[in-house]
Structure formats: structure tokens, C-alpha cells
Amino acid sequence: MRKHSLRSFISVALAGLGLVAPALAGTGFNTPGHILIADQFNNRVIETDTSGNIVWQFGLGPNDFSPNSIIGCNDAQRVGPLTLMAGTGTPPGVIPQAPNGAADNRVILVDPFKNIVWQYGMFGKTGSSPNRLNTPVPTSSSPTRATTESLR
């Protein structure tokens, strides 16, 4: 099986989605001056404007422990119009909503419309075999590649 780089995938995905501008007109998404925040134990990533208003969000909040949220995310960044984030899950005893902990060992790319367009790792699964991760943080990207420290 031929391996493709995440950078190549991002380029194809952006072209396929027709997303070439860094900001989406009228939405506030990815606007210069806004701040992207990984809200770790609220199971979401948010973008706020300079007044602190949430203008974009991925994740349904502290009571959602499904693949529709990013559980225990402590790092997120923009890769063009996509958002790269890593879910680490939460350990037992940290948050009352999941007293036994919650596994979310995924690195995902999300489009502005909150669709997961790329994923490595599986929600609710931990391991070291193909498509399994264990606490995949932090994520980073560069002009030539995107990497996850735990995948080195």
C-alpha cells in the first residue's frame, strides 16, 4: 500500500472542497486576530473574536463523550481552512461527567462546517497497532509536513 503524506491529503482536500480562502466570508471563521482555543475538559475547540465571542466551535461540550466532540483536546491549530486537533481522552477521576475516564485517541482534520475530513486513530480505542494511538499530543504542522509528536 502506498503511503500519502498528510500535506498531500490536505492539498487535495482543500481543492476538492473548493476552500481556497483562509476565511469564510461572513462567518468569522479563521479571521486574523481571532484566537483558537483547545478547551480540554469541555471537549471542544473554539475560535473567539477579540471580544471573547465564540464564532466557531467543534465539539458539543462537557457532557458529550461521542465522536462528535474531541475529548481531552489540549492542542489545536489551523492548517489552511482546516483545523488540526488531537484528542487525548480523559483519565479516570478527572471530570465528574466521565468518572471512569473516556478514551479519544485521534488526530483529526475538521473543515469549517465541522466535518471530519481526515482521521488517524479511533474514538474509544487505545493502542499501538495501525490506526491506534495512545495520547497523541501535540500536533504541529510546517510548510512541508504535518506531524504528531507521538507518531515519530
Task: Give tens-digit pLDDT for 128-146.
Answer: 999 999 999 765 655 555 5
Q: What is the pLDDT of residue 30?
A: 87
Cell of 72: 481531552
Of 6-10, 36-40, 56-60, 94-98, minimum mean pLDDT range:
6-10
Q: What is the pLDDT of residue 15?
A: 45
Distance CA 148, CA 79 (A): 14
Report whether pLDDT(39) > 80.
yes
Give per-residue burial for 130-152: e unless 16+ CB within 10 Å, then b: eeebeebbebebeeeebbbebee
Cell of 23: 476565511
User: For residues 29 and 22, which has the higher predicted lDDT (pLDDT)?
Assistant: 29
Contact 120, 130 (CB under 8 A): no
Report whether pLDDT(12) > 50.
no
Of 8-17, 18-27, 42-51, 64-73, minimum mean pLDDT range:
8-17
Report whether pLDDT(8) > 50.
no
Fold observed for domain 6-139: Thrombin, subunit H (2.40.10)
Across all residues in the chain, what is the average pLDDT?
81
Q: What is the pLDDT of residue 111?
A: 95
Query: What mean pLDDT is predicted for residues 1-24?
Result: 47
Q: What is the pLDDT of residue 25?
A: 53
How is the chain split into domains, by residue range? Answer: 6-139
